[in-house]
Amino acid sequence: MFRSEDMTLQNLICHKDNVWDVVNMIGQLDKVEFINLNRNRYDPKKWQETQDKINFFEKIESSLRTLSNAIVDVFKDDPKEIKKRF
């Protein structure tokens, strides 16, 4: 296919069970160029980055919860000690 050839944009609608077979047969004609309209829907790198951020914040939450429990344990016997220190 050359850029100087006339082209048209077409929409293909078919049942999801047949998509792979239909697109494969059309692709074998070597007369078609496909445009991925869903290219931004799934990006494995972005999903992994998001998962890494979630894991990071879960670790921070866990650390803060542990620290909070430790502080409560220290001051639970003498609440007046909190006022003295803060």
Query: In sequence order, which residues have a C-beta less than 8 Å from that of residue 27 and are 6 or more positions away?
Result: 34
In whole numbers, what is the pLDDT of the chain averaged over residues?
80
> What is the tens place of the pLDDT at every residue in 23-54?
888 888 888 877 777 666 667 777 888 899 99
By the 10 Å C-beta count (0-12 exposed, 13-18 middle, 19+ buried), 16 is classed as exposed
**Prediction pTM value:** 0.39
Exposure b/e, 26-64, CB count within 10 A at least 16 = b? eeeeeeeeeeeeeeeeeeeeeeeeeeeeeeeeeeeeeee
